Amino acid sequence: MQNWRWLFLSLMIWGAAAFGQSKISPSLERELDRAATEGGTVKALVLMSDRVDIRALDAQLYEQKVTLQERAYTVITTLQAKAAETQGPVNAFLESRLGTSVMEFQSFWIANMFAVDATPGAIYELSDRLDIRYLTLDSELQLEEVVDSAPASPTSPNGTEPGLLAINAQMMWQAGYTGDGVIVMGVDTGVDANHPALSWKWRGTHVPTNQAWFDPDGGSTFPNDCDSHGSHTVGTMTGLDPATSDTIGVAPGAEWIAAKTICSSSHTSRSIAAFQWAVDPDGNPGTADDMPVGIGNSWWDPDIVSSTQCDPSVNPYIDVVTAVEAAGIAIVFSAGNSGPGSTSITQPKNVNFDLVDFWATGAVDGNSAGFPIASFSSRGPVVSSCSTGNTSLDIKPEASAPGVNVRSAVLSGGYGTKSGTSMACPHVVGALALLRQAHPTRTGRELKLALYQTARDLGTPGEDNDYGMGLIDVWAAHLSLADPLDPERVTNLEAYSDYTTPTSIGLSWEDPTHYAGGDTLLPGSFTVEISRDGSAVASVAGGVQTYTDNGLTDGQTYLYNVVVKDVNDSLSSEVEVSWTAGGAVTPSAPMGL
């Protein structure tokens, strides 16, 4: 009888251990074996069993047609509530072992999970808990290293990089869209915030620095770059030297924020922390004007197991990326530089659950006729374990952008050319900024979808595993989102007042000449509607192009919003500018140019 009892007890212990081990990823298991032999601790990600169905929530928000602010608030507070409701017991377990078998830990709400640095024993204890569904390695992420790099001319006065013209960014600029009022972001090696093409566009010049710069390891409060890779990519998003009008960025009117996570300690948890920060930089879920329209990512994870890569219950990237997108932000990845072989898109963006969610960007030569695909650009399709049988979902990359000999910012205020899909990715983020300014109510996903659906087909006819849908065309994407019957907006809006006109402000602008769909807009068929501080003050006939606002208070600053209205009451998008009656010591720069 005693032997039977001992056998039963042994089976129970063996079963519990087997159950725990089935919840541990192969990559983490290898590190646990190493640590058990050599000593030390292991960094792991601990995924909770109870999680928000973020895809269902996202679909519900689209169905309800909520605003971007309502969307952000709902997603953030729902995720935070789930974490607060379920993480207490695990948090208490980790706290009780802190300093002994647990060296450090961090909780997350962007996905219901923890990052821990603990002994194998503590990690096995965690795996036995019913409120934990899976544990995986907190991997060291790798930078998508550039293929080649060289110094470039220090300035190109009044110059525009060929890659910007290749995606038709100049068409958006001519229509008055430069990304003004929009934020872009990179998760990379940092940014040289003293660079002349970047310093004046850092959002931290006018908001608290912790809302514009995230350095989870170094703890720095002013942007810096450990490699120049991050400066180069952010430069392609929004770079412009105001002293020379040397334009290297797709959206030179946009502001940038950044996270420095791909340097000395580039663990997955650092980038997850950056995504969580990006969703709510000011710590107030009720605001959305602090969030970027898109986040560029040029890194990859070497430790993902392909057989489980498409299972959201074990792959932490799925819930994290889906949550950020549900909040209204577009995630954009580089495809990788492992081409030209098939199925060479790097992890974690070699999967798809939607046409554009894990967007991977291929690289073309924007300096050559026909925009040939770069030989190094990673090719699709998706990893075989994630194949759905749906052709569009299985094809990778999503689309391509210029990524060969791209000139942008490097360290110490210099410029350099680099090649790689890392250079293509920020072209997409910059394009999103232009589109967000033109279509301010659209989510990041909707803007990505417009770029995807309007890309210029290159290579094999139709969508293919080299170019994806083709070369992005931001102007075509804009036209696809605009109502063709809406008038274009005014351009070159300016406001002015000085000591000779202390109680008035003069406005001037250039009238539009076309509708969004391309039809001619005649001066007699529209008016220019002007509001001051939210109240209508004038309706100016087309062709006049000036207005003087009188009866103002000397020294007071006023905000003007201007829209074009045609005879059918169709409206353009708004342009705004502010100025101080009687002039100001430091006048506000006009916006919307």
From first CA to last CA, the distance across the chain in angstroms is 88
Domain co-membership, 417 together with 496 = no
* H-helix segments, 358-517: 391-394, 421-438, 444-454, 474-481
Domain co-membership, 323 together with 468 = yes
State residue 592's pLDDT score. 42
List C-alpha distances in Å: 254 to 233, 240, 250, 326, 430.
14, 10, 9, 22, 8
State residue 584's pLDDT score. 60
Domain co-membership, 259 together with 200 = yes
Structural domain includes residue 586? no
Among candidate residues 63, 398, 308, 312, the one with its CA nearest the CA of residue 321: 312
Q: Domain holding 202: CATH number? A: 3.40.50.200
Domain co-membership, 474 together with 499 = no
Q: Are 75 and 326 in contact (CB under 8 A)?
A: yes
Q: Which helix (H) or strand (E) holds 276?
A: helix 268-279
State residue 507's pLDDT score. 97
* H-helix segments, 117-193: 120-127, 162-166, 169-174
Structural domain includes residue 585? no
538 secondary structure, DSSP code:
E
Domain co-membership, 390 together with 506 = no
Q: Domain holding 553: CATH number? A: 2.60.40.10
Of 109, 137, 165, the one marking the end of a domain is 137
State residue 4's pLDDT score. 42
Half-sphere exposure in the Cβ direction for 24 (13 Å, CA): 25
- Tell me the residue length of the chain: 593
φ and ψ of 73, to 5 deg: -60, -45
The pairing of strands 299-300 and 142-143 is: antiparallel
Domain co-membership, 128 together with 213 = no
State residue 109's pLDDT score. 98
Structural domain includes residue 312? yes
The pairing of strands 102-108 and 113-118 is: antiparallel
| Distance in angstroms (rounded) separating the CA atoms of residues 186 and 380 | 24
* Number of C-beta neighbours around residue 446 at 10 A: 17
Domain co-membership, 390 together with 500 = no
State residue 6's pLDDT score. 39
Of 481, 504, 521, the one marking the end of a domain is 481
Structural domain includes residue 6? no
List C-alpha distances in Å: 481 to 113, 490, 517.
37, 18, 10
pTM of the model: 0.86
Of 137, 161, 176, the one marking the end of a domain is 137
Residue 344's contacts (CB-CB under 8 Å, 6 or more residues apart) are 336, 338, 378, 379
State residue 385's pLDDT score. 85
Q: Are 361 and 334 in contact (CB under 8 A)?
A: yes
| Distance in angstroms (rounded) separating the CA atoms of residues 114 and 91 | 9
Mean pLDDT by 10 residues, the chain (593 residues): 40 41 88 94 97 96 96 98 98 97 98 98 97 96 90 85 97 93 97 97 97 94 95 98 95 98 90 98 96 97 78 90 98 97 94 92 96 97 87 94 97 96 98 96 97 96 96 95 89 92 95 89 96 94 96 94 94 88 59 42
State residue 516's pLDDT score. 84
Structural domain includes residue 11? no
| Torsion region of 345: left, alpha or beta (phi above 0 gives left; psi -120 to 50 gives alpha) | beta
Residue carrying the six token digits 């922390």: 273
Domain co-membership, 434 together with 545 = no
Q: From the CA atom positions of the chain, what is the Rg in Å? A: 26
Among candidate residues 486, 586, 497, the one with its CA nearest the CA of residue 549: 497
Structural domain includes residue 1? no
φ and ψ of 136, to 5 deg: -140, 165
Q: Which domain holds residue 174?
A: 147-481
Structural domain includes residue 395? yes
Domain co-membership, 527 together with 443 = no
Domain co-membership, 418 together with 498 = no
| Residue at 24: amino acid letter | I
